[in-house]
Structure 1
Amino acid sequence: MPRAPSASSPSDSAAPATGGVVRLRRADREREIVQGAIQYFADVGFAGDTTGLARQLGVAQPLLYRYFQNKEALIERVFQETFLSNWNPLWEEMILAPEQAVAQRLLDFHRDFARVHLRRERVRLSLFFALHGWDMSPYFRVMRQRVYEPIALSLRQYTGAGRDGQSFAVQEIELAKTVVEKIQYHGIRQWVYGLPVPEIEPVIQASVASLLDGVGAVLGKPAAKSS
């Protein structure tokens, strides 16, 4: 029987249910554990234990602790992978693209945000993290700085409200969240409540149109050349 490699070894072995031995490079094994943990915790929540995760992965439980000191460290990695590591750096550019009309910018961004957010694991984990009392402020901070504030700036441009350099008012940020929150609730209806949902594209189109129709009542009338 081969000697189990140390934690610094380039590969690890695990015996699946078939009795064979699967050897993976360390980075590949770690990725497999993280992806398995994302699916597992999205299914059962954070009350699920590492014994159940190991069983689902087909590995021995002690193998998990070669990569993660404890369950909380693994959950931290799940949070990073689910909400921060897959961030699209082009979103801010989409929202602020000067060559595009504001309506088109908002459509482009929200379509791509929906593509990322409406995955089953991400929707369910967002609720499990909240119920677990996890500090999600790093994600909320990034959303405000790189999504909501650029959207609020675009809405100022759309209405011709000016206010260059001024801090964003509370109602501006709340307006900027409108379509994102519609997308998020769409995912909750589908992946948490198990309800039938319509295609997201018409929802995005209607929500963006409604936002732009109503924003003038808060910030002022739309600029003549904006759309």
Structure 2
Amino acid sequence: MDETAAPAPRRKNMRRDDRDQQILEEAVKFFAECGFEGQTRELAKRLGVSHAVIYRHFDSKEALIERVYEHVYTSRWRSEWEDWITDRSQKLEDRLIRFYRAYADSVFEYEWVRIFISSGLKSYGLPARYLAIVRDRIIRPAVVEARHELGLPAQPPSEAEEELFWGLHGGVFYMAIRKYIYGTGIAEDVGGAVERTVRAYLSGIPALMKQDAGG
């Protein structure tokens, strides 16, 4: 028998909060490896508990997935990131570099990336909810700040303007996809690669925004 495939030894008499945390942390690893189609019976086996134990702590698989979302995604969001984007004491380029370096430090992680991609493929709606946060708190404010820096009239961001900045956001995130989904190498200095990506992308955005504005 392959000992590496054996279930974890059962742990008894754990406090409820400790058991909740144990299940959550193992679920993050499990779903990152197997996707959300992974069965909770297999998760219970890895934990060394009965299947019923999971459902004494989480009402359903969906409730467990929701906790995973909160743990992996919303708990890592930093409110100061939003302040950095709107801080007009610095050039927008410097603000975006500061944000995306911090963002990469937070999300360039095996579990974060693989769960994000898996949940999107299985229509759990988690990526849409998270990307709505990115859009409202980063992308749209960045468009407003770009218009201000370029001397363009203040107005709500257009879809075309938002798309420009989604391209930047996707360019940064694609490095994480290459590493954790495709398994290909990326720059060892992720912070430096992020900075170069931001600078290169922003070099073309002003001309496109002015062109769309008729300038």
Please indicate the TM-score interval, normalised by the length of the shorter structure. 0.7 to 0.9
- What are structure 1's unaligned runs of at least 5 residues? 1-15, 222-227
Match of 1:189 among 174, 178, 193: 178
Pairing 1:53–2:50 present: no
Match of 1:103 among 93, 99, 113: 93
1:24 alignment partner, SS class: coil
2:16 is matched by which residue type in structure 1?
Answer: R
Q: 1:86 Cα shift?
A: 2.1
1:194 alignment partner, SS class: coil
| CA contact 2:114–2:181 (8 Å) conserved in 1 | yes
Pairing 1:82–2:84 present: no
Q: Which has a greater percent of helix?
A: 2
2:46 alignment partner, SS class: helix
Match of 1:112 among 102, 107, 119: 102
Matches of 1:22 and 1:180, distance apart in 2: 45
1:193 is matched by which residue type in structure 2?
Answer: Y
Q: 1:83 Cα shift?
A: 2.2
TM, length-normalised to structure 2:
0.87
2:49 alignment partner, SS class: coil
Q: 1:131 Cα shift?
A: 1.1
Pairing 1:144–2:135 present: yes
Q: 1:174 Cα shift?
A: 1.1
1:220 alignment partner, SS class: helix
Q: 1:45 Cα shift?
A: 0.9
Matches of 2:149 and 2:169, distance apart in 1: 18
Q: 1:22 Cα shift?
A: 4.3
Pairing 1:169–2:158 present: yes
Match of 1:28 among 10, 18, 38: 18
1:153 is matched by which residue type in structure 2?
Answer: V
Q: What does the per-residue CA deviation read over 1:124-162, in whole Å, with 9 as the maximum and x for residues that have no partner?
A: 01111011111233222211110111111221133222x
1:97 alignment partner, SS class: coil
Matches of 2:74 and 2:175, distance apart in 1: 21
Matches of 1:208 and 1:193, distance apart in 2: 23
Question: Cα RMSD between the aligned structures?
Answer: 1.9
Q: Percent identity?
A: 31
1:153 maps to what in 2? 144
1:73 is matched by which residue type in structure 2?
Answer: A
- What are structure 2's unaligned runs of at least 5 residues? 1-7
1:35 is matched by which residue type in structure 2?
Answer: E
2:129 is matched by which residue type in structure 1?
Answer: P
1:31 is matched by which residue type in structure 2?
Answer: Q
2:14 alignment partner, SS class: strand
Matches of 2:51 and 2:78, distance apart in 1: 34
1:39 maps to what in 2? 29
| CA contact 1:179–1:204 (8 Å) conserved in 2 | no
2:203 maps to what in 1? 213
Matches of 1:45 and 1:149, distance apart in 2: 31
Pairing 1:129–2:119 present: yes
2:62 maps to what in 1? 72
2:54 is matched by which residue type in structure 1?
Answer: L
Q: 1:102 Cα shift?
A: 1.5
Matches of 1:174 and 1:209, distance apart in 2: 17
2:84 maps to what in 1? 94
